[in-house]
Each structure stands twice: as C-alpha cells, then as structure tokens.
Chains A and B, each alone.
Chain A
Amino acid sequence: MKQLLILSGKGGTGKTTVAGAFIQLADAKAYADCDVDAPNLHLVSDWTEAPTRSDYYGLPVAQIDNERCIGCDLCRTHCRFAAITVQEAYTVHPFACEGCGVCSYVCPAAAIRMEPAVAGEHKLYAAENTVFSTAQLKMGSGNSGKLVTEVKKQMRQHAQTADLAIIDGSPGIGCPVIASVSGVDLVLIVAEPSVSGISDMERIVQTARKLGAKIAVCINKYDIHPDYSEQIARYCEKAQLPFTGRIPFDPAVVRAVNAGRSVVDIDCPAAEAIRQVFENTLPYVFA
C-alpha cells in the first residue's frame, strides 16, 4: 500500500479539502484522519453506517491513596511536571500528569498507583473493501502522537489490499505530525501565499526533510496573492521539490464543505484545479 500524507504547517490552508477531494478522485479504499486533535475529514465523507468505536488508552495517570500517604513529600518534589500539589492532602492534577511513574516509584508507602486512563476514541468505518480510520483525542489529554500511530495502524490492518491510502494530517511540526510522517511514501504540503504561510511551509519542509520524507508542494488560494505564489514556486524549484499546482480561491469550496460534500462533487474552478494537482502529484507517490 502506498501512502500519501497531506500536511501544511500552517492551519487552515486547505488540507482536509484537498484530502477529501483526493479520496474521491482516487476512489481510495483506505484513508485516515491523523488530525486527532481537531478531526474534520469525517464531515465530508459520506458514511451512513456507524463506525466501530474503541477507547484509546494513553499513558496512565497517577492516583494517590490518602489513607496510605505518610506525607513524606517525595512524590511532589520528584515530579518534574508540577502535577502534584498539597493542601490538606496530596492531589494529582490529571491534565498536568504525564504518566511517567516517577511518583509511584519514589513513594515509600506504596500509596501511588498508575491508573489506566481513556485518552480518546478511535473510530473505524469499514465497508466491503473501503476503510476510514479516524480518532478524537479526549479534551485535556496529551500524547497525540501515539494515537496518530494507532489511527494509521488500524487503517493498514483493515485495508491490506488497497493500493493507495490518503491521510489527512494535522497542522504544526510537532509530535502528531512527526508520528504521521513515519512510513508514508509522499508528503504533499498545501501552502498558502502569505507571509505566514511561507514561513510555516519552510518549517514543515525542514521537518519532513529531517524525517527523511519525500515531499511535494501545491498552493491553495494562489490568486489571493500571486506574488507570494510565485515566491513559493521559486522556493520549490530552488529546494528541488516537485511543485504540483495552484488551486484558486473559490467560494464554492465553503459551500461544498457546509453541505458535507467534497469539492470535486461540484463543477467549479477549484475542483478543476484540484484534479490537476491530483494528476500531477500521483506519479510521485508511486515513484
């Protein structure tokens, strides 16, 4: 299975719009939403069946048994995350606890246990030969990289015969992005022609390069600022990155999204351009 991951660095450049369109155009039998922090791909995928839901357990959270606690303060002084506070009794702040287990290790009274904690929900949509893997991180939980890895694993396991998988990524360059890049065949970066967009694109290119990924770039809403679009195209040429096309700003995109449709279901300039980007990008996935 070849995997195409869509990233952008900056948020809101059109990752999900492009991913939704590519899924349609490729008639993809496997796809996933790795933006577990703010997933949106399900809003433009037309699944009528309910997904198979499973709890996702992140790292455990410390729990202090106050009956056993002898008040030695070792847990609080050893916690590097300031997750343990003491007023009348010792308490663990569940959002601050990273689940490292140091407090439990240093406690001489065996008063601290590491309890499993549900950190999110994984959803798997599966029909005859199509699979859509997505998840939602629970509010207040960390460790999104691990859930991203789970989303991709579930997709691969349930769609072993699919020849192409489309994966929607998350914004930024940190832990969930790093987890999403591992093992993919191409990262397509959706850039935006603005001062911010260019800075963010350069940082995601740098990150993907450090991770050894193959990269291609396209521009969304290119006509909002043609000069910056030119600058992006030149940057790609200089950095020897395949540049796979320009998508115009098109109000039809918002209308499609609000109707829960993919933009390529509608006859509009953006759909036409995305088709072109898709044609240009595909060879690099299979190269």
Chain B
Amino acid sequence: MVTETGNKRIAVLSGKGGTGKTFLTVNLAAVAGPSVYIDCDVEEPNGHLFFRPDAVTDEAVTVRIPQVDPALCTGCRKCVDFCRFHALAFTKQLKIFDEVCHACGGCLLVCPQQALTETDKTIGVIQSGRTQNVSVRTGVLQTGEASGIPIIQKLLQNTDPHPQFIDCPPGSACGVMESIKDADYCLIVAEPTAFGVHNLQMVYELVRLFEKPFGVVINKVLDEDNPAERFCQKHRIPVFDRIPLDTKIGKLHSDGRIAAYVSDAVRARFATLWEKIQKEVQSEATAHS
C-alpha cells in the first residue's frame, strides 16, 4: 500500500530549552523538502536565522482589545468586577491594561452603557519566505507582550500540501499545547542530563495527555551515564537517534548554518531519521483509518 506523509505535521518539542529543538527541526525540514518549517517559538524564534529566507512578506497579528469612551463610562465598575485577568481598573477613570487582556470580550457584554468597543492591537508578526525547497514561516511576538498564542494559532492555519515541521517553544505550558494540538506526530528532543530527564518526563506526560504518537531523539550524547536513555527504556519509548556531542556540528549550528546542507554525514543522518518518522506516521495513519 502506498501511503503519503503529504501534509502531515511533525511537532518537535523538548520541555527543557537548549536541547536542540531548532537544530532538529531545521535539519529535518531541510532534508525532507519540499517542506514547511514553522517556528512556533514566537518568544525567541531562531529558525529564520538558519534558513535566511528570501522575499519575506510580513503579516501583522492582531488581537481585539477593549477601548473606552470616557464620555459614556459612568464608573459602575461592572467590567472591572467581571474581568478575571485584572485587565481593567477604575480610579477616576477606566484604565485598560492591554498586555494582560485575553480578549474574551466579557467587558463589552457586561457594560450597561455600551461605553466599551473593541479595537485591533498588533502583538506580533508572521514572516513568510522561502529557502531552496523549504517554505519558512516564523512567528515573532513583540517584546513586552505577554502571550503569543494568537500568533501560534495563525501560524498553524495553513494548508500547504507538504510535510510541516513545527518548532515548538520550550516548556510544556499553553504555547506548547497550542503548537502540538493538531500535530500528527510529536518528536521529543532530550538531553542526557538530570535536568534533561526531568523535563523529558514532563513532555512525555504532555504528549500522552494529548494522545499523540511520539518518539525521542537524544541529542548531545556523551560517553557517560545517560539517564535519558534509561528513562526511555523504562517507559518503552522508541529512541530514533542518539546524536553525539560534536563540536564541529555545534560550531556550524552556532554560526547559523544548516548542518545538513554542509555535511553529507549530517544529511544522511537526518534523511534516515526522517524515514523512520515517516514510517511511524504512516503506521499511525493506517492504525486509525
């Protein structure tokens, strides 16, 4: 049976920061082309520094935030009492704190005077461009803004027919959940340290909570005790690759270069990894069809 990984979505996540999410996602997208690379780490997006895409177009991401007409506001404080995010306060006049507003629209509903209306506020931007056969989509949250969730939602609204590689934010909170929500497969990057394993455990719980098929790649492996490997054995988690700590590859990466474009060995390694992931995704698709 011929199966397709066509527009499947592979989310790469790690819990701990700095384990190599971007390294893996960028190189996978590079060997799997034509493909789409989506940077959902909107607080600190880095993938574009590697792809350096051409002809980048910007699309603003806005949220609806309330604004008050002081002439109509009577100071009844109904909106202040309603808002669970403490985004409104009344002292002499109504103050609105945009950064903490979740744009739920509740304050408008409760205002008896219709003194509140909504206006668009830009919280960030989506940059779309292309490098070789990779379409690169980057979400960038403006500094000082609290939540990049609307940017992630918009980033993932695309119907590109090619495999999509999602570079997730670190951690396991709302940004990660939003990034993996519609993923077909989750790839966890782990580090063979005590910190790495503790955070591996967290994302392991998260992908199970979301009932996603998943596998692990252990990055920066040293010839020493590897607690990440033991964790995976214990929980019978497939480990697709163990990438040794290699200062040459590290140097390429810190220079902002895509190792798979430079080194044949790295290219071959990621091609093999991509094949393994495709098999997993296909067997999942078969199992659930």
Contact = CB atoms under 8 A, between A and B. Distances in A.
B117 to A, nearest CB: 16
A9 interface: yes
Nearest to A202: B143
Contacts of B177: 95, 140
Contacts, number: 179
Interface stretch (A64-72, A190-198, A237-245): A190-198
Nearest to A9: B44
A257 interface: yes
A38 B251 contact: no
B179 interface: no
Interface stretch (A47-55, A168-176, A275-283): A168-176
Interface string A22-50: 00000000000001011010010000000
Interface string A98-131: 1111100110000000000000000000000000
A199 B172 contact: no
Contacts of B44: 9-11, 171-173, 196, 199-200, 203-204
Contacts of B237: none
Given A102-B104, A178-B99, A257-B193, A195 B254 contact: yes
In the complex, which of the residues B43, B99, B103 has the most CB atoms of chain A within 10 Å of its own CB atom?
B43
Contacts of B253: 194
Nearest to B191: A12
A142 interface: yes
Contacts of A35: 171
B54 interface: no
Interface residues of B, number: 59
A100 B173 contact: no
A283 B144 CA distance: 27
Interface in B64-114: 82, 84-85, 99, 102-106, 109-110
A66 B116 CA distance: 33
A151 to B, nearest CB: 14
Contacts of B16: 11-12, 38, 40
Nearest to A98: B102
Nearest to B22: A196
Contact of A100 (B102, B146, B172, B202): B102
A255 B247 CA distance: 18
A100 B144 contact: no
A90 interface: no
Nearest to B17: A11
Interface of B: 15-19, 22, 41, 43-44, 46, 49-50, 82, 84-85, 99, 102-106, 109-110, 141, 143-148, 169-175, 177, 191, 193-195, 198-199, 202, 205-206, 209, 222, 224-225, 227, 247, 250-251, 253-256
Interface of A: 8-13, 16, 35, 37-38, 40, 43, 59-60, 78, 80-81, 95, 98-102, 105-106, 137, 139-145, 170-178, 192-197, 199-200, 203-204, 206-207, 210-211, 224-225, 228, 251, 254-255, 257-258, 260
